[in-house]
Amino acid sequence: MSQQTTPITKIKRPSTKSAFRSFLNNQHSGGIALLIFASISIIAANFEPLNFLTKLWDREIGFSLGSFELKMSLLHWINDGLMALFFLSVGLGIKRELVTGELSSIKRASLPIIAALGGMIFPALIYSAFNYNTPTQNGWGIPMATDIAFAIGVISLMNKRVPHSLKVFLTALAIVDDLGAIIVIAIFYPTHDINFTMLLWASAIMIILIAMNKKNVQNAVFYILPGLLLWLFILKSGIHSTIAGVLLAMTIPVKMKEDNLTKNRVPLLKKMESFITPIVTFIIVPVFALANAGVKFSIDLSGPLQNISKGIFCGLVFGKPIGIFLSSYVACKIGLADLPTNSNWKMLFSVGIIAGIGFTMSIFIDNLAFEDPDIVAAGKRVVLLSSLTAAIIGSLILYASTKKTMETNKPNKQKNENN
């Protein structure tokens, strides 16, 4: 009598490629939502009957418990509270890429990291050249950023024309760019004087979170209260509270212990990312745009505001692509990195221009860099103009370069089919 053997069920691990494609689709759709809400905000700022929307953000909301008080304007709740979840989402993406994705090996990570560094340094230098020793010199961080949702949204419009490797490169570059922007915000743009007592409390919470990570705690519930306390202590410390989102993300486990793995269990980081990303993409970032993108077209950009206009525009539209292209070119020529598969230098340069779409992060830094409402408004207006210019020029050059590549590849494909 023969015994039936039960086949071993193979554990199905999450596919990196399918996760990445899902991420791309989210960002593509999110870019459209972002554009719609930003347009509503701009119309409301320039159309008198809708001005009530711009006044809504000044309404103060909060609570007090005894001597403890937490009250902020609705705009600050969005920028300091909701955007902490945005940075949590960014942080989760950064950690995933560092551990299992495009940034997990030096060879794969070298090109986007080097390109991102060039794409941050050149715009900052160009801005500083226009604004050195002026009231607007503190805005050098504004043109450093790339809006990942808009950038991927633009490149995704060309769908199959763009090599998959180039999309991966842009995504990895934007993630490194976000990490750089986060570091710049934490170090150079404190909200007020540093409160070291609150920083000590925040450090204590971080120790607890790190210990939970070491124990491989896979239940998200255990991270909620420490995460909220971390946000509160960092808010009160004078460092921008959104940094709490990134710090929390760094403590979320990417993998599960081997003895815990089953076909029905997914690592906590992947579960959190799947849950948070749609909320951030379709609610938080559009709401941020609605609250922050509104700027009057009647603003006079002459006189003292000329410097900030030139600095941001030239930094995003020219500094970004030049920095990304030159640093990538040098890295490839000396053997530190390789060009993305099936791409060429013209494609990479056009992607560098598209990376000049600053929008969300640039507006965020603009709000932190200046207190004068006229300077803040001028910065927003130029960020919008620069991002639109970068999107149009970058997509046209990318379309032309991919068209030429497709035409040269077509005869080869037909030749192979005949053989």
Encode pLDDT of 168-195 as tens digits.
888 889 888 888 888 888 888 877 678 8
Determine the structural domain holding residue 211 and report its residue range.
190-239
Low-confidence winner among 161-175, 290-304, 334-348, 400-414 (lowest mean pLDDT): 400-414
Residues 6+ away with beta carbon under 8 Å from 211: none
Calpha distance 46→39 (Å, rounded): 11
On whether both 252 and 355 belong to a single domain, the answer is: yes
CB atoms within 10 A of CB 125: 14
For residue 9, tell me if it sits in a domain.
Answer: no
For residue 124, tell me if it sits in a domain.
Answer: yes
On whether both 106 and 225 belong to a single domain, the answer is: no
Residue 70: helix, strand or coil by DSSP?
strand
Calpha distance 129→383 (Å, rounded): 18
Residue 222, pLDDT above cutoff 50: yes
For residue 23, tell me if it sits in a domain.
Answer: yes
Q: Over range 201-211, report the average pLDDT.
A: 96
Residue 307, pLDDT above cutoff 60: yes
Residue bearing the bigger pLDDT, 265 or 20: 265
pLDDT score recorded for residue 232? 94
Calpha distance 355→320 (Å, rounded): 7
Q: How far, CA to CA in Å, does 194 sit from each of 3, 240, 311?
A: 71, 10, 29
For residue 247, tell me if it sits in a domain.
Answer: yes
The pLDDT confidence band at residue 331, using thresholds 50, 70 and 90, is very high
What are the DSSP calls for 84-141, one per residue? HHHHHHHHHHHHHHHHTSTTSSHHHHHHHHHHHHHHHHHHHHHHHHHHTTSTTGGGGG
On whether both 169 and 89 belong to a single domain, the answer is: yes
The pLDDT confidence band at residue 261, using thresholds 50, 70 and 90, is low
Residue 299, pLDDT above cutoff 70: no
On whether both 141 and 194 belong to a single domain, the answer is: no
Determine the length of the chain.
419
Residue bearing the bigger pLDDT, 350 or 62: 350
Using a pLDDT cut of 90, give the percent of the chain over it: 36
On whether both 234 and 246 belong to a single domain, the answer is: no
| Beta bridge partners of residue 68, listed in sequence order | 65
Calpha distance 379→365 (Å, rounded): 10
On whether both 157 and 53 belong to a single domain, the answer is: yes
pLDDT score recorded for residue 266? 84
Two tokens at 338? 């390789």
On whether both 90 and 40 belong to a single domain, the answer is: yes
| Beta bridge partners of residue 62, listed in sequence order | 71
Low-confidence winner among 39-53, 207-221, 259-273, 366-380 (lowest mean pLDDT): 259-273
Residue 409: helix, strand or coil by DSSP?
helix
Angle value at C-alpha 94, between 202 and 390, nearest 5 degrees: 115
On whether both 235 and 315 belong to a single domain, the answer is: no
On whether both 170 and 203 belong to a single domain, the answer is: no
Calpha distance 409→251 (Å, rounded): 46
On whether both 290 and 302 belong to a single domain, the answer is: yes
Residues 6+ away with beta carbon under 8 Å from 285: 30, 33, 34, 86, 149, 360
What are the DSSP calls for 312-350, one per residue? HHHIIIIIHHHHHHHHHHHHHHTTS--PPTT--HHHHHH
Two tokens at 98? 């560092």
On whether both 173 and 205 belong to a single domain, the answer is: no
For residue 289, tell me if it sits in a domain.
Answer: yes
CB atoms within 10 A of CB 37: 18
How many structural domains are present in the chain? 2
pLDDT score recorded for residue 28? 64
For residue 4, tell me if it sits in a domain.
Answer: no
Residues 6+ away with beta carbon under 8 Å from 412: none
On whether both 148 and 278 belong to a single domain, the answer is: yes
CATH number at residue 356: 1.20.1530.10
